[in-house]
Amino acid sequence: MKLNQNFFRLEDDYLFSKITEKTEDFSKKNPGVDFISLGIGDTTLPLCETVIRAMQKAVDEMSRKKTYRGYGPEHGYFFLREAIANYYKKRQVSLSPFEIFVSDGAGRDIADITELFDRKSKVLTIDPAYPAYKDACIIDNNEIIFLKTSEKNNFIPVPDYDIDCDIIYLCSPNNPTGAVYDKKTLEKWVDYALKKNAVIIFDSAYEAFISDEDLPRSIFEIENAKKCAIEIASLSKTAGFTGIRCGYTVISDELVFQDHKINELWRKRQSIKSNGLNYITQRGAEAVFSREGQKQIKSAICYYKKNIKVISSSLYSLGIWVFASSNSPYVWAKCPHNMNSWEFFDIILQKAHVIVTPGEGFGKSGKSFVRLSGFTGKKETLEAVNKIKNLKLTKDFSRFA
């Protein structure tokens, strides 16, 4: 018996585990200190009323023999898949419910989807990006190619035809930068994928935060994308499902490689490795896509976006360069005075007792940045930015202390 040696290629300290470790270490040495987290992107508002009612009704159904449900379909109940298909229809994207696969979250599908492809695939990922893309490829022993971005191109890369690849990870709005791909840029990526015979894994976990109607919320809004793309979405940030988990993956019948429909392979894979998502959660998810559900979750999204405005304007007033999109729940800020992200993290933690996320954890291109989240409460957000504003540090910080 031999272990999968690729696990030993993973970094010893996972980004968010390292943040927790540093915070706990400081807390032990400084008991009684209260921290405000603008770091990990966990939602803080409760589930909306429409979702709660739907789940309570589902619980009641499970209490009666006549309406009790046991094992459900591995790929999701038809009522939810149909609701998701109708949601896409509003964006002029036509999908069959049978092209939609419900799961317990986008994070799992992002890591699992590469199982469908050869272990020697070349995977292109944007830098900086959500670390799970890279880690999943390392475990699968794929070759990873990083396409670096910076403030010079607003963290929106365009394809490089000198690079050959098999799998492409794209995320819009991007985590951590918040950058959103416009239609022309996505058209370039679709053309590139088709010419390279590659597949795009499109992470749309934050699509609900896009308020600009001219910006695509799904890659399937791009012509011919169904022939080269897989879309993975989540209700975690959209509707506060971080604690109950629900996501979905969309694979069109038109996505075919080596004469095989990819959704048939995914259907087979899920049938073997998943028993499906529970009925109660799926009823709650269905309610998210109702008219009332959409209205209520938009209220929560607006609440988080107001926090983003507070954070970005406060940092800007201190002379800190910020990349804050009105279509994202994150602020991407450049560390002052050429500090790296972990140095700035330590200063903000120790002097202001505020937790941010070091950009280095998202890739080498993020080493001079930190990510700040708008998912904290309004009161806590205001308190956090005031603490940062009131920092009394060394004279190196005099111009914004």
Q: Which CATH number does the domain housing residue 169 bear?
A: 3.40.640.10
Could you say which of 256, 290, 324 is where a domain stops? Answer: 290
Q: Residues 64-113: pLDDT tens digits? A: 999 999 999 999 999 999 999 999 999 999 999 999 999 999 999 999 99
d(CA 62, CA 64): 6
**261 shares a domain with 176:** yes
**97 shares a domain with 130:** yes
User: What's the domain count of the chain?
Assistant: 2
**193 shares a domain with 97:** yes
**266 shares a domain with 192:** yes
H or E segment and range at residue 124: strand 122-127
Compute the average pLDDT of residues 266-290.
96
pLDDT of residue 395 exceeding 80, the answer is no
pTM equals 0.94
Could you say which of 255, 290, 325 is where a domain stops? Answer: 290
**65 shares a domain with 11:** no
d(CA 317, CA 262): 50
Compute the average pLDDT of residues 350-373.
95
**200 shares a domain with 190:** yes
Euclidean distance between the first and final Cα of the chain, in Å? 58
Average pLDDT, the chain: 94
**243 shares a domain with 98:** yes
Q: Which domain holds residue 119?
A: 49-290
- Cα dihedral 126→182→319→336 (10° resolution): 0
45, burial (CB in 10 Å: exposed 0-12, middle 13-18, buried 19+): middle
Query: In this structure, what CATH number is given to the domain that contains residue 309?
Result: 3.90.1150.10
Length reported for the chain: 401
- Give me the percent of the chain exceeding a pLDDT of 70: 97
**260 shares a domain with 129:** yes
pLDDT of residue 13 exceeding 70, the answer is no
d(CA 39, CA 155): 20
DSSP structure class, residue 299 = H
283: nearest Cα among 60, 106, 101:
60
**268 shares a domain with 308:** no
Q: Residues 14-38: pLDDT tens digits? A: 788 889 899 999 999 999 999 999 9
**Token pair 């370039």 is at which residue?**
188
**314 shares a domain with 242:** no
Could you say which of 233, 255, 290 is where a domain stops? Answer: 290
**316 shares a domain with 200:** no
**284 shares a domain with 150:** yes
Torsion angles phi and psi, residue 357, rounded to 5: -110, 120
